[in-house]
Structure 1
């Protein structure tokens, strides 16, 4: 029975990942024509996954009363594209929400009107671009551990324009550990802390405890 349960969970996770990847493919195509509509589509599908999918980040007991995630309305002032400025590759053990580490390679940075952010590559099988950040809203109206903008290993990929990454903070979202501390999430390192308030993207989940809101991780 245990093996069957475990196997089913892996297939459910596969389905969840597939649906996220399909969603971002749809968002990339739609965003070129109507970014606001793409944002609404992204929100609607995320609500569906959170409320109904067995691999939802929400604890099972929360799903029955789930009424949707909270977001800022779409604001084009927080949508950018940026070339990646090469940096000397450096391996980082990025801290996680549970006190462990996940290996990443810092390979570049993006220079935006709101500040510079370092860009990482997941240094594990398959790899992927990872761009987390914290800002002046972290621990107040958003999770203290920060939010994710890109996590291509899990499908969160807004695309690119030639050699420039699409970095639209309206699509910033919380890591799974914001909703349930049992999830293991890499968090934004010190270099990716912005002084400004990014009033775009996902807001704190209404059911969050004070710990889940204020947790900031290592200095």
Structure 2
């Protein structure tokens, strides 16, 4: 496996799938197919985690209602890239610490190569996720490095925003190690940008962004059809 795989968000999903996952489709016996997780279970878990993290970040001041407004006007990517990258990073680290061969979701369900749903989309998702998790595991991050990585993922490396939110994270002193961390973060951001362009993702992102704002006692949002 080429651990230097680069996720180029400029390409469409169809090209991404064929560019990054050229192996034969997953073949399973009937008994193995019965053990496969339902795709909706995974998507629902992701968006529930996305909503939970978004609300926590809003309450803690890491993001603001201005970020939600800016996203609706396509002026920043915190909502569709930063928060999802934060959620995936949390999943990767939880899975590493839990000794999972795959990915431990927030509902304690484990997603592995043996029970992942069939289909091109999950073929595309699983490969880069596994690579990024392996890269993180090999680095054996300190807690301060993990927290720095969360900030970098959330703000896409925006130094002003990163300095404004003190979550206890600090970059590694070594330049090479810092570059390794930030390289993984950028690949994860590219991954999430492409994920946000899946046919049904935009509607889910709009709905969850609305629930984040309303659930945190913020002013009412009215996302028009143009945002869907």
Q: TM-score, normalised by structure 1?
A: 0.25
Q: If you compute each CA radius of gyration, which structure gives the higher value, 1 or 2? A: 2
TM-score, normalising length: structure 2? 0.24
More helix per residue: 2
